[in-house]
Structure 1
């Protein structure tokens, strides 16, 4: 126990030593160096058995300066375990590690290199949300990663049947939900095991649960933006406006969504096909709409968090790694190489500053009925361009998120209020930080 305690203390001290919040101005980053004197070979890790290898092969064939060796891992979980072992042994360290958690975790563990000088000259290729997700105190410790932004599917047939407009604000969402309830329809589903809606709405409202301040963390899960989100959700729960179908029983979940008893579904672009595949009765009745905003919002904002990949400490060819990753993320050749051979599908490159070229092509052909794919694509593009990207999750995310799930479940079951749940989670976080010897203060 004492050894582990000292290790965490040294990590906290390392944060301060790195100068994450120095308060000092920094000089403009130099132009990105060309790839390290080559030819060089770099190892790139990942767990995708198909498309990533296609991208790597295309890159290797396109030039002779850098050779990428793709090291396939068994799974996301196996990647995390194997990477931790490699970093502890300091042997066979790759030059690219895909994102498996918050970039702050990678930095706190001493894993992520500062790659600002390589990313700064090319950052405008990436959305503001993608850049924000990869930065800590204005420095790039991760590579820009695009969050899958939230938009909504509304069952148009349901709204038209009862003469209701699809709500454009969260406040209208509650009012509309009360009217729908009189017809036996719920406005949205809030699974008892999944607090993602709370996290997304808090982020959208401008909440900041964790901040780094010198050598300590600031913690506040009860700030004004969070309570704004909490209030909306609490009203929906108190008035029984929402369903609580679990994601652990997918057939039952899809059946309920398809039944006409649910009016609205928040989603990201990648989940559209799953709904089309599993819907029958309501197929063609849905339309893509913007995610509701808070009524006092000054600009349109969508939620979305990304876990950026990074160049590990110990990689001796960081410029080569960034050259490959940037090519893979932005070039037409790479995007084409990443096409799924079985389905012919290309995903939305959510990290790009403008995704409008790609969104229409990922829209399924049946679920949205008469709504043109181009119109659905515009909804997706609008969400992606407005994605926040950044939502700091602190140094002990793995510890506190299960607690949030537990407290959220109790709130959904009306055993406690959601405000009480957030106070309980904050108390859990501070106690855990105290136990681990990590400096913090609770923001007011």
Structure 2
């Protein structure tokens, strides 16, 4: 249901750090952007994506930019990242591909992307800092942000009133509300945490200000057991210990019933999911209300977000044109107006600084009771995404390791603290094995 860092790291130090990561993974440093070289003449680019509505925008671009023609390839499928790796290795890769922030960091660490730091620089000011961080692991830019999914809260306002609770403003409030509901009906849960999906812990860690991975000079700091990380883990532990969360699997087609039938009465959610609820919550339509996501520190409210990106792959001959197209796709008013229209079915929410022109039309009016300003909730969420979060070089592998242990946490066979301690040791050992310099965060 539910990458990032501030731009404070010195460029030279960050470059040294990431070059160590890339070399350690045996992929070299990938390609450079040829010192920002400007391409002249007509070129053709290939672009892989699996987002609905994107192909139509490629067509619009091609009509308006005869000098840079883009061929769209629908790359939908569970094995797309394996296919991309194979294409890069064989020298047949497209110039551009859709990715998430986690896989961009992974591909960058393996030397499979092109450094476009210089040619991308003119576009950076269009996007939020967290979004730009998502395409710039270690301070080197490898792509252009495409979309974001900042978290906010959706809750059953009718059942909150029935149980005498209010929309939680902090995570401690969530725990208190869950306990209050349990006293009245033990079959009703305040939240859901699926056994296969540890994204709740990721989101809470981000919101608490934790930094599981952080570039520091020529090495990575690993922080799964810092006070901020443990604070997030403690909330998850209370949800588990007090039986406050349901465990509906997101792989189960019937998952929506837990909310539609009022068995689970709150969720953290994002923009791309709203049309899905409108279709799959027939019994509770009109009974939901939006609110700001719970925070850890009301004085510094912070939420989290996933990011879609358009990566420039190793071997791309025209990185300046690739960056130009990717930035047009995800920041021009023309493209965003079309892609944020529910009719496009893209589910895209912009990663640009001003999202206000694109908010109203993505809110399904019949889904919510109209007693809160849904557009304001969404724009607030977009402005509150924490800037400290960063995807590290083995984040994807770490996530797989975390998934293995998460199910045990949900079954009360393992504590969250024990899992975080294990992940801290696991990541340090994994990076050492890869020859990447990393230390435990102080």
TM over 0.5: yes
Q: How does 1:424-443 map to 2 (within 5 A)?
A: 424-443=422-441
Tell me the equivalent position of 1:23.
none
The residue aligned with 1:43 is 46
- The alignment partner of 2:293 has SS state of coil
- Pick which of 191-200 and 395-404 moved more: 395-404
SS of residue matched to 1:394 = coil
SS for the counterpart of 1:357 is helix
Query: Is 1:114 matched with 2:115?
Result: yes
Partners in 2 of 1:257 and 1:334 — Cα distance?
A: 34
Structure-2 residue corresponding to 1:245: 248
CA distance in 1, matches of 2:127, 2:41: 27
Aligned to 1:165: 166
Structure 1 residue 228 displacement after superposition: 0.7
Q: Distance in 1 between matches of 2:197 and 2:29?
A: 37
CA deviations over 1:323-372 (Å, ceiling 9, x no partner):
111111122332355478x9455644321111111111011132213347
**What stretches of structure 2 of length at least 5 have no aligned partner?**
1-19
Matched, 1:406 2:404: yes
Please say if 1:83 is aligned against 2:95: no
Cα distance in 1 for partners of 2:385, 2:314 equals 29
Q: Is contact 1:293-1:301 (8 Å) kept? A: yes
Query: What are the Cα deviations for residues 116-137 of structure 1, in whole angstroms up to 9, with x where unaligned?
Result: 2222222221122211212234
**Post-superposition shift, 1:388?**
3.0
Cα distance, 1:246–1:345 mapped onto 2, change above 3 Å: closer
Deviation, structure 1 residue 10: 7.1
Task: Tell me the CA shift for residue 384 of structure 1.
Answer: 1.6
1:226 matched to 2:229? The reply is: yes
- Correspondence for 2:6: none
SS of match in other structure, 2:148: coil
Q: Give the CA deviation at 1:227.
A: 0.6
Deviations 1:363-394 (A, max 9, x none): 1132213347xx21221111122223663343
Following superposition, the deviation at residue 207 of structure 1 comes to 0.9
Q: 1:377 to 1:346 in 2, by over 3 A?
A: farther
Asked whether the equivalents of residues 134 and 141 of structure 1 are also in contact (C-alpha less than 8 Å), the reply is yes
Give distance in 2, aligned partners of 1:347 and 1:193.
23
- Give the corresponding residue for 2:359: 359
* Superposed displacement of residue 434, structure 1: 4.3
Q: Structure 1 residues 339 and 434 mapped into 2: Cα distance closer, same or farther (>3 Å)? A: closer
Q: Whole-Å Cα distance in 2 between the matches of residues 161 and 93 of structure 1?
A: 56
How far apart, in 2, do the equivalents of 1:338 and 1:278 lie? 22
Which residue of the partner structure matches residue 96 of structure 2? Answer: 96
**Inter-CA distance 264–282: structure 2 relative to 1 (3 Å threshold):** same
Tell me the distance in 2 between the aligned counterparts of 1:358 and 1:307. Answer: 17
Provide the residue aligned with 1:22 in structure 2. none
- Among candidates 197, 201, 205, match of residue 208 of structure 2: 205
Residues 69-103 of structure 1: CA deviation (Å, up to 9, x unaligned):
22333x2444322221222122x332212214433
d(CA) in 2 for partners of 1:288 and 1:386? Answer: 16
Cα separation, partners in 2 of 1:126 and 1:410, compared to 1, 3 Å = same
The match for 2:278 is 276
1:136 and 1:261 map into 2 onto residues whose CA distance is 40
SS at match of 1:388: coil
* Counterpart position of 1:11: 23
Provide the rounded CA distance (Å) in 1 between the counterparts of 2:344 and 2:393.
Answer: 40
SS in 2 for 1:316: coil
Instruction: Tell me the CA shift for residue 320 of structure 1.
Output: 0.9
Determine if contact 1:411/1:417 at 8 Å carries over to the other structure.
yes
Question: Are 1:304 and 1:389, in contact at CA under 8 Å, matched by a contact in 2?
Answer: no
- C-alpha contact 2:225 2:421 (8 A) present in aligned 1: yes
Number of the residue aligned with 1:180? 181
Deviations 1:237-272 (A, max 9, x none): 222222222223231x22221222322111111111
Find the aligned partners of 1:387 and 1:116 in 2 and give their Cα distance: 23
Aligned partners of 1:303 and 1:389 also within 8 Å: no
Change (3 A) 1:338 1:175: closer
Other-structure match for 1:24: none
Q: Give 1:307 shift.
A: 4.7
Q: Give the superposition deviation at 1:225.
A: 0.9
Q: Secondary structure at the match of 2:402?
A: helix
Residue ranges of structure 1 left out of the alignment (5+ in a row): 1-7, 19-30
Paired with 2:391 and 2:411, the residues of 1 have a C-alpha distance of: 25
Match of 1:292 in 2: 294
1:258 maps to which of 251, 257, 260 = 260
Change (3 A) 1:248 1:46: closer
Residues 114/223 of structure 1: CA separation in 2 closer, same or farther (3 Å cut): same
User: Does the 8 A contact of 2:191 with 2:246 survive in 1?
Assistant: yes
Larger radius of gyration: 1
| Number of aligned positions between the proteins | 417
For residue 16 of structure 2, what is the aligned residue in structure 1? none
SS across alignment from 1:38: coil
CA displacement 1:147-183 (0-9 Å, x = unmatched): 3111111111111113222110111111222111111
The 5 A counterparts of 1:347-386 are 347-371=347-371, 375-386=373-384
Does 1:195 find its partner at 2:198? yes
